[in-house]
Amino acid sequence: MEFLKQLGIKEKNYGCSTGQKWLETSAEGELKIYSPTNGKFIASVYQCSEADYEHILEKGVDAFNYWRTVPAPKRGEIVRQIGLKLREFKRPLGTLVSYEMGKSLQEGMGEVQEMIDICDFAVGLSRQLYGHTMASERPMHRMYDQYHPLGVVATISAFNFPVAVWSWNAMLATVCGDSNLWKPSSKVPLSAIATQNIIAQVVKENNLPEGLFNLIIGRGATIGEKLLNDKRIPLISVTGSTKVGRHAGEVVQRRFGRTILELGGNNAIIMTPDADLKMAMPAVVFGAVGTAGQRCTSTRRLIVHESIYDKVKDSLVKAYSGLKIGDPLNEKNHVGPLIDKYAVTAFQKALKEVKEAGGKVIYGGENLSGESYGSGCYVQPAIVEAENNYPIVQEETFAPILYLIKYRGTVTNAIALQNGVVQGLSSSIFTNNMREAEEFLSAAGSDCGIANVNIGTSGAEIGGAFGGEKETGGGRESGSEAWKLYMRLQTNTINYGTQLPLAQGIKFDI
Ligand code: UN1
């Protein structure tokens, strides 16, 4: 396959790199990677050893000690060059993301576009790492604060966004003066290796030291645990399930390290009687079936007013019956496969549980097999009439299941349903009624990190901070002021006078 060659992916690959060198360990076993699109073998990866981890960390610390002394705009220049390289490799990398993860080619390319966008954002930011100047209460004193680089920043990324989420963290961390350690999901390591090869070109062309961009592909139980417990890593950004994030948060907090947690979502769209249905329908369908329902921001619940419920239900079923499911590299298809057979089992288990609770599957829900699907993990996206309080509706099932929930009365009731789950990532309302929209966005409205009006729950832009509340973990990545999390804040007070007045007017004469 041409794109694999372009990206430097061989039949057997090493899984551990300092950005300059691959560590040639082969004793820890191979990960064999098969495409979820057709079940075919793509390539394999040797996992790294604990000794490799030690080596990488030492390089990471050394690189940080150098990198923090480089002026931030110069650091931005490196990120600018990374953005240019990613533009060059957008097509092959987007294709690999699609082939290895199973999302549509459009979405694979979109993911690389997000990487390019965050590079541009970070370049601008490299000249804007602003602190404040404060008025001191003491005469002839100056007080200000400044942001300093933090250290080695680790990013643990999930299978559903094999490359973009890493870049949201790493490109900010890089302009902030940190060195990077990336542990990608072992389900999609090839996209990470390809990205590492792209970055390595910039490292080489600029004669950068080893250890600025480290990649480590290894077992969670050994390498992952070492990383969480490692005092040399002041910040770990984790994307994954609430279960994974809770463990990571506890372990890292015990050593007073910091985490950015981007965990499960249970995102809802509210449709009020004033919704523009022509706009709302594509947003719902894209949100629910895009990436085969495997985005953190996927639409899982649709909360519809009883007066338009039947109409919405009918047009949803109609829209779903027009969906083309199949090879995501074929741009005619809307929905690709699930990541693996375990995801198919989880999809079926959720459908069984919702039926037992009293839910009604009104469309889809079958596993798809047959010649055109090969041994890929394809399913028919499902629409299920359900109640918000069913235990399974309260959970995040990483699959294309859309729960259709009826609300009565005012939008206040719909907002209560929308907030009535343990997760708090993304939310949206479709309405042309200004009062409803403003109530949804108010302090008493949506309790999520992302709240949209007349836009679906997925497809956030990098310029905004990304993350959510409650069991979504509270972390923020990407745009707005998220960069501050990758630096340490220091308050400085300077006395340029000849007296030593104490704050709060305290007298201490000796
Ligand atoms: C994720 O699913 O982890 O809003 C991230 C979106 C994307 C990011 C999703 N920009 O759908």
**How close is the Cα of 300 to the center of ligand 1, in Å?**
14
Judge whether 510 lies within some domain: no
Judge whether 450 lies within some domain: yes
Please, what is the Cα angle at 424 between 418 and 430, to 5 degrees? 45
CB 54 within 8 A of CB 40: no
144 shares its domain with 39: yes
**What gap in Å lies between CA 264 and CA 455, rounded to an integer?**
20
Judge whether 387 lies within some domain: yes
Judge whether 150 lies within some domain: yes
**What gap in Å lies between CA 273 and CA 306, rounded to an integer?**
9
217 shares its domain with 340: no
Q: Residue 136's pLDDT is what?
A: 97
Mean pLDDT value of segment 66-78: 98
Q: What is the CATH number of the domain that holds 94?
A: 3.40.605.10
Q: What are the tens digits of pLDDT across the range 418-434? A: 999 999 999 999 999 99
Mean pLDDT value of segment 253-279: 97
Mean pLDDT value of segment 1-18: 97
**% residues pLDDT > 70 (the chain):** 100
* Ligand 1 atom with least separation from CA of 262: 3
Judge whether 495 lies within some domain: no
**How close is the Cα of 96 to the center of ligand 1, in Å?**
18
Measuring from atom 6 of ligand 1, which residue has the nearest CA? Answer: 459
**What gap in Å lies between CA 399 and CA 349, rounded to an integer?**
11
| pLDDT of 371 strictly over 90 | no
* Ligand 1 atom with least separation from CA of 265: 2
Q: What is the CATH number of the domain that holds 372?
A: 3.40.309.10
390 shares its domain with 415: yes
Give bridge partners of residue 477 from the DSSP assignment. 466
**How close is the Cα of 476 to the center of ligand 1, in Å?**
12
329 shares its domain with 232: no
The residue among 28 and 215 whose pLDDT is bigger is 215
Q: For residue 71, with 0-12 CB atoms within 10 Å meaning exposed, 13-18 middle and 19 or more buried, which class applies?
A: exposed
Measuring from atom 7 of ligand 1, which residue has the nearest CA? Answer: 459
Active-site residue, 50 included: no
CB 399 within 8 A of CB 340: no
Helix, strand or coil, per DSSP, at residue 152: strand
Judge whether 496 lies within some domain: no
390 shares its domain with 482: no
405 shares its domain with 485: no
**What gap in Å lies between CA 258 and CA 244, rounded to an integer?**
15
| pLDDT of 250 strictly over 90 | yes
Q: How many domains does the chain have?
A: 2
217 shares its domain with 272: no
Q: How sure is the predictor about 372, in pLDDT bands with cuts at 50, 70 and 90?
A: confident
**How close is the Cα of 315 to the center of ligand 1, in Å?**
26
Residues with CB under 6 A from ligand 1: 160-161, 165, 239, 295-297, 458-460
DSSP 130: -
Residue with tokens 């009604």: 360
Find the helix packing angle between 105-125 and 72-88, rounded to 10°. 160
258 shares its domain with 285: no
419 shares its domain with 395: yes
314 shares its domain with 405: yes
The alpha-helical segments, DSSP class H, found in 272-363 are 277-289, 309-321, 341-357
Q: Residue 209's pLDDT is what?
A: 95
Instruction: Give the list of residues 6+ apart from residue 439 with CB closer than 8 angstroms, or none.
Output: 411, 412, 415, 445
Q: Residue 369's pLDDT is what?
A: 87
246 shares its domain with 271: no
Q: How sure is the predictor about 374, in pLDDT bands with cuts at 50, 70 and 90?
A: confident
Q: What are the tens digits of pLDDT across the range 94-147? A: 999 999 999 999 999 999 999 999 999 999 999 999 999 999 999 999 999 999
CB 361 within 8 A of CB 383: yes
Mean pLDDT value of segment 487-491: 98
Q: Which of 89, 97, 91, 112 is nearest to 35 (CA)?
A: 97
Identify which of 161, 423, 448, 450 to mutate to test ligand 1's pocket (most ligand atoms within 8 A of the CB): 161
| pLDDT of 479 strictly over 90 | yes
Judge whether 124 lies within some domain: yes
247 shares its domain with 314: no
Q: What are the tens digits of pLDDT across the range 434-469? A: 999 999 999 999 999 999 999 999 999 999 999 999
| pLDDT of 244 strictly over 90 | yes
Judge whether 442 lies within some domain: yes
**Exactly one of 48, 119, 176, 296 is catalytic; which is it?**
296
Q: Residue 373's pLDDT is what?
A: 85
Provide the residue range defining the domain that includes 198.
2-263+473-490
Q: How sure is the predictor about 375, in pLDDT bands with cuts at 50, 70 and 90?
A: confident
Q: How sure is the predictor about 252, in pLDDT bands with cuts at 50, 70 and 90?
A: very high
Q: Residue 485's pLDDT is what?
A: 98
Active-site residue, 262 included: yes
Q: Residue 370's pLDDT is what?
A: 81
Q: Residue 199's pLDDT is what?
A: 98
**What gap in Å lies between CA 483 and CA 122, rounded to an integer?**
9
Q: Residue 405's pLDDT is what?
A: 98
